[in-house]
Amino acid sequence: MTEHPLIYDLDFETLQNTLIEWGEPAFRARQIWEGLYHSLWNQPEEFTNLPKSLRNRLAETFSFSHLTPVQTLESGDGETSKTLFQLPDSRSIETVLMRYKERRTLCISTQSGCAMGCVFCATGQMGFGRHLSSGEIVEQVVYFARQLKKIDEVVTNVVVMGMGEPFHNYDNTLKAIACLNHSEGFNLGARRFTISTVGLVPMIERFAQENHQINLAISLHAANDELRSSLLPINKKYPISVLMNAVRRYVAQTGRRVTFEWALIRDINDTPEHARELAQLLKGLLCHVNVIPLNPTQKYHGEATTRERAEIFCEILQKAGIPATIRLRRGIDIQAGCGQLATQHAQTSEG
């Protein structure tokens, strides 16, 4: 592991306090902050607005990167790219850039691997490696912002739906978003972030109490406990009734809409009966359902539903007053779709 702390792990106040301890004027913190998040500099020597002595001290004290890009894959349609990064301890993560007509959306990771064990998710099939630090989460966004800047584009949205369960790494995830949201730095609005969780109820309740403006998505995938527990083991700890009570409290507390994610698996959770069961569960709740045909992974043999069945599923929800859309499947040919992120390269090298 690198000996130097990652500079992106520092929030603004910590950076400012560090510089004051060094005998530097407080305004130097703002210059460094703007250099990191506005100018997107990633080498101490780029900070030409600082005295050389301070640039040298920054170089001696901090690492300016924990992410080493190993491989980038582009989808055949050119709309999705996925980068494999190696971390200083040789663990790996993947991050995805999705290009839409007016948006440039990043799907970022919060852990290397995942402890949740959802059966159809490639990351869950890997098992848990470790939490990412807040700075390692931030650096994914800054890295792609730097790439987009070269072609006069910007990151418009961030979905925290990559590798890992964000609410299992709650503090670092929220610290990273606060850093990226900082008005004098990267300045990406809170409502441009979406956090997706499989349903860690205590963290949903904490998230509600903190009254964030960040969007919340719940990976649901089943509307009864027997089926959901077979797909998402976390349901045994936080069954649907407990989860839904927490979600309803969240909506009541914040007034914000919740999105439910539903991977449609042929003959498993894609029938009209499943749709009606879901409509009953969500009745009266301020919500939206994103349905998406299952993305294939090596260790799960379920098949994606057909477009026709997906449309019938959506139509039943809509007729019951539940807003629902079929989400575009993106980057399937490069294993960049929802549930497909896994670091086979890293697994091979680590044995």
Active site residues per annotation = 94, 338
Two tokens, residue 7? 């500079």
Q: Report how far residue 174's alpha carbon sits from residue 336's, in angstroms, rounded to the nearest whole number.
A: 24
Estimate the crossing angle of helix 170-181 against helix 201-210, to 10 degrees.
Answer: 30
| Residue 109 amino acid letter | S
Q: Report how far residue 67's alpha carbon sits from residue 64's, in angstroms, rounded to the nearest whole number.
A: 9
Burial (CB count within 10 angstroms: exposed 0-12, middle 13-18, buried 19+), residue 52: exposed
φ/ψ of 159, rounded to 5, equals -110, 125
Write the DSSP assignment of 201-247 as a string of letters.
HHHHHHHHHHT--SEEEEE---SSHHHHHHH-GGGGTS-HHHHHHHH
Contacts of residue 324, Cβ cutoff 8 Å, sequence gap at least 6: 288, 289, 290, 291, 313, 314, 317, 318
